[in-house]
Homo-oligomer: A and B are copies of this chain.
Amino acid sequence: MSREPLTAGEITDLIDRQIRQLDLPAEPAGLYDPIRYILGLGGKRLRPLLALMSYNLFADDVGPMVLPALSIEVFHNFTLVHDDIMDKAPIRRGKATVHKKWHDNIALLSGDAMLVKAYALLAQTTAGKLPQLLTAFNKTALQVCEGQQLDMDFEKRGFAHNPVTEAEYLQMIRLKTAVLFGFSLQFGSLASGRDTQVSALLYDAGVHLGLAFQLQDDLLDVFGGEKFGKQTGGDILNAKKTYLLVKVLELAGGDDRQGIIAAITHNKMADSAKVATIKDYYTRYAVEEVAQSEIDSHLDNFFAALDTLGSNRTGRIKALVQSLATRAV
């Protein structure tokens, strides 16, 4: 390899260009318009970006791998479309969700088509690399479904009896979110035929990154200030069992624990009062600091894993993650 790895911006441009040129038929419009819509809402394209930066660790020309890497973005957007149906979420990235803009059935079927399309994109890999990529993708995709199921199961459980534990919560976000980051990082090694040791190392790095990413998401929802396309404190108002809520319920005892449960389940409290009350408990039990320290530990593991590779090409991917770690939205 002679050339420097591409910058995150250069790879993002390649990704965005390919997404705009995706081979999606005009008809039936009810099937394909929602796919164009959700993919057109933007987002950071973080997963294919990581996949291609991972590939770029081992190979100069990322061009032929852009379409296969897009499988991860299309898969991720498929999960958003279906999760939004299940959560009855009205807004995604500041715009109406697919099921709100069209109909539940449309979102259901378009989502199905997106999952198939993700596989069709993955199949654009060199034949020799396909079996391993497909097997890893299948395993990841099934785990993401398991994670979403656990998330729904957890939302049905109460707060006082049989509460969700920190370990359960971490296992849920590992499945729902982190393993797809694991696959993204692993993508480069699988697509360039590295040995299983390198592949496992990058997978673990990605899982750590994904856990850090989700925990940061939980934090930012409460402490991130003004955000685009997302309510501030939305998780609190939805009584969503985030890391912060699970943790504060584990740390608080007696009256405080009762107070938290009373506030989070209160139907009549004004939004701002509810957010302020719960934030107050978060501050009292320092769960922001606990979460941040958990995030830092996962990021340390991520960087350490990359260093173990012994490659002089990891600078750009590390810089990207560093910038994500300080994101405010």
Question: A residues bordering B, Cβ < 8 Å?
Answer: 28, 30-31, 82, 85-86, 104-105, 108-109, 111-113, 115-117, 119-120, 123, 127, 130-131, 134-135, 138-139, 141-142, 145-146, 148-150, 152-153
Contact = CB atoms under 8 A, between A and B. Distances in A.
Given A85-B108, A113-B142, A123-B135, 9 more contacts: A30-B152, A31-B146, A86-B108, A109-B152, A113-B145, A115-B115, A116-B145, A120-B135, A123-B138
A145 B31 contact: yes
Contacts of A145: 31, 109, 112-113, 116
A163 to B, nearest CB: 18
Nearest to A88: B105
Contacts of A119: 119, 134, 138, 141
B109 A108 contact: no
Q: How many copies does the complex hold?
A: 2
A120 B145 CA distance: 14
Contacts of A30: 149, 152-153
B127 A141 contact: no
A327 to B, nearest CB: 29
23 contacts: A30-B149, A30-B153, A31-B149, A82-B109, A85-B105, A85-B108, A104-B104, A105-B152, A109-B148, A109-B152, A112-B112, A113-B146, A115-B115, A117-B142, A119-B119, A119-B134, A119-B141, A120-B138, A123-B138, A127-B130, A127-B131, A130-B130, A134-B134
